[in-house]
């Protein structure tokens, strides 16, 4: 069974909500949306650039909008009857129950096992007082030039662990920077904190970056520098 939550959040994008409201006089923030209302307005949801997925409480997908192809590379038919949890990386997807609306960041997997940062908004379809199905709306996050390089480097490091299941993410035990490459002390960078939240603990292998090595082990750092200089002069 999929994990449920009681936390309430405000929807972070307004486009689809506005379109839905124009046709139905309902807001997507109002979770008391019944299956009939959903069926009658499926065209509004399907034409959206946002990815709309409907699934039961066991996570089995029974509807997915046409935006699936552009966002993930999958045709909608390929994902029907699959489990919603398998379409995301890392920590389990969280859905809304009949008392809440939930909006979080998540990482969607595309057909090439690449990672797509998204805003995931979930709410329930209500029949009487019972929630039988869940709708998730996914909006791709467009990063600014300032953040896009860090986000992409973080995604690239994670992607290596997806492609090669024996690979782990090198992380500094002190400052929690990621290592990009094989060199033990060089090529460390600060990962995107929102993406790091989705990485399971068992995907990390701990080491130490050059800055933390210098700060916490100054004597060993000086010995290392002297040895490197000696090797340099020998050549």
Domain parsing of the chain, residue ranges? 4-140, 145-234
pLDDT digits (tens, 9 = 90+) for 83-105: 998 999 876 565 555 445 567 88
More confidently predicted of 235 and 89: 89
Confidence of residue 71 (pLDDT cuts 50, 70, 90): very high
The backbone torsions φ and ψ at residue 162, rounded to the nearest 5 degrees and listed phi first, read: -80, -40
Looking at residue 227, what is its pLDDT? 85
Structural tokens at position 42: 């499926």
Task: Output 16 or 58, whichever has higher pLDDT.
Answer: 58
pLDDT tops 60 at residue 191: yes
Q: Check residue 94 and give its pLDDT.
A: 58
Q: How confident is the model at residue 166 (pLDDT cuts 50, 70, 90)?
A: confident
Q: What is the largest CA-CA distance in the chain?
A: 81
pLDDT given for residue 7 in this prediction: 31
* Confidence class for position 21, pLDDT limits 50, 70, 90: low
Q: Which superfamily does CATH assign the domain made up of 4-140 to?
A: PAS domain (3.30.450.20)
Residue 82 is given by DSSP the state: S
- The residue among 16 and 12 whose pLDDT is bigger is 16
pLDDT at residue number 69: 93
What is the structure's pLDDT at 108?
A: 92
* Cα(176)–Cα(108) distance, integer angstroms: 24
Q: What pLDDT score does 128 carry?
A: 63
Q: What angle do CA 153, 157, 161 make, to 5 degrees?
A: 160
What integer pLDDT is reported at residue 215 of this predicted model?
94
Q: Calculate mean pLDDT across residues 193-205.
A: 87
Does position 222 have pLDDT exceeding 80, yes or no? Answer: yes
Flag the least confident range among 23-37, 72-86, 96-110: 23-37
Sheet harboring 188-189: ordered strands across? Answer: 188-189, 178-179, 169-172, 204-207
Alpha carbons 231 and 235: distance in angstroms, whole number: 7
| Predicted TM-score of the model (pTM) | 0.70
The answer on pLDDT for 4 being more than 60 is no
CA distance 117 to 194: 9
Mean predicted confidence (pLDDT) in 206-231: 88
CA 198 to CA 207: how far, in whole Å?
20
Element housing 188 (H / E)? strand 188-189
Residues ≥6 apart with Cβ < 8 Å to 20:
26, 27, 28, 41, 44, 45
Q: Say which range, 51-60, 120-129, 184-193, has the weakest mean pLDDT.
A: 120-129
Average pLDDT for residues 4-25, to the nearest whole number? 44
Region 211-235: what's the mean pLDDT? Answer: 83
């Amino acid at each position: 069974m999929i994990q449920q939550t009681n936390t309430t959040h405000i929807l972070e994008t307004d486009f689809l909500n506005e379109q839905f409201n124009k046709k139905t006089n309902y807001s997507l923030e109002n979770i008391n949306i019944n299956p009939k209302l959903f069926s009658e307005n499926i065209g509004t949801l399907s034409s959206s650039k946002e990815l709309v997925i409907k699934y039961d409480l066991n996570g089995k997908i029974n509807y997915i909008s046409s935006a699936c192809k552009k966002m993930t590379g999958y045709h909608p038919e390929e994902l029907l009857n699959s489990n919603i949890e398998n379409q995301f990386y890392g920590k389990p997807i969280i859905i809304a129950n009949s008392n809440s609306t939930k909006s979080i960041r998540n990482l969607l997997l595309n057909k090439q096992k690449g990672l797509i940062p998204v805003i995931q908004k979930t709410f329930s379809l209500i029949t009487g007082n019972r929630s039988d199905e869940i709708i998730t709306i996914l909006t791709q996050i467009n990063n600014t030039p300032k953040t896009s390089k860090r986000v992409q480097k973080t995604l690239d490091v994670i992607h290596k662990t997806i492609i090669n299941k024996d690979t782990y993410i090198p992380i500094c035990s002190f400052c929690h920077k990621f290592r990009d490459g094989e060199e033990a002390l060089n090529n460390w960078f600060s990962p995107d904190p929102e993406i790091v939240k989705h990485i399971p603990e068992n995907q990390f292998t701990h080491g130490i970056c050059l800055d933390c090595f210098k700060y916490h082990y100054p004597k060993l750092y000086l010995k290392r520098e002297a040895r490197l200089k000696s090797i340099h002069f020998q050549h």
